[in-house]
Amino acid sequence: MSGPESGPGSGLTSATRTGFFASAPPAFCNTGAEMPDKSSAGLSSRELLADFPIVVSLPVQWGEQDLFGHVNNIVYFRWLETARIAYLERIGMSMMVAENGVGPILAAIRCDFRRPVTYPDTVLIGARVTRIGNSSFQMEHNIISQAENMVVAEADSTLVFLDYRAQASLSLPDSIRRAISELEGRDFEFRGQATQPPNF
């Protein structure tokens, strides 16, 4: 959707989309009451992301705003993608597809829009893994406005480890599990149920 329904400041609370995105996905929104603010409670922007091992800082571009004077919701998904790729690079997954034909694929993503973002501003996007399964893992994000010093969006996504040639999910390699645990600074409970790759 586009237009007055789609902006983060329009009272729309969430967007959910499944499938693979080479870049930012379109956002499909449901109407609802405005989300409660998550203020800093005296914390700095960096402190609000203290539990996220990967934090990416991006300046808001004037051209990312839409007709309604705030950053369009599609841009939030691009910000999330940037943080997600930074995380995958840190754990050694970013080059697997080109080298071996296997690697992560985005199976599902959801974003709750808390507050609108306007130019000028800088956003901080945190990324962390919250669950590891047999062939998938779940990632969580917070987006912080430095101008507002508060959470402006929260998101979660599911990534599946895929054999791109066979179009079949694979067990997540032990080396990747260890890399995630080391980056997050904790061990994860193993959940051994296979996850189906997205349908195209």
Q: What is the pLDDT of residues 86-110, one digit of tens each?
A: 999 999 998 898 899 999 999 999 9
Q: pTM of the full predicted structure? A: 0.76
How confident is residue 30, by pLDDT bands cut at 50, 70 and 90?
A: very low
Q: Determine the pLDDT at residue 95.
A: 86
pLDDT beyond 80 at 10? no
Q: Determine the pLDDT at residue 69.
A: 95
Give all domains of the chain, ordered by start, each with its CATH number. Answer: 12-35+45-184 (3.10.129.10)
Burial 15-39 (b: 16+ CB within 10 A, else e): bebeeebeebbebebeeeeebeeee
- Tens digit of each residue's pLDDT (9 = 90 or more) over 45-60: 888 999 999 999 999 9
Q: Determine the pLDDT at residue 45.
A: 82
How confident is residue 12, by pLDDT bands cut at 50, 70 and 90?
A: very low
Closest of 91, 81, 55, 89 to residue 157, by C-alpha: 81
- Tens digit of each residue's pLDDT (9 = 90 or more) over 161-193: 999 999 999 999 999 999 999 999 999 976 555
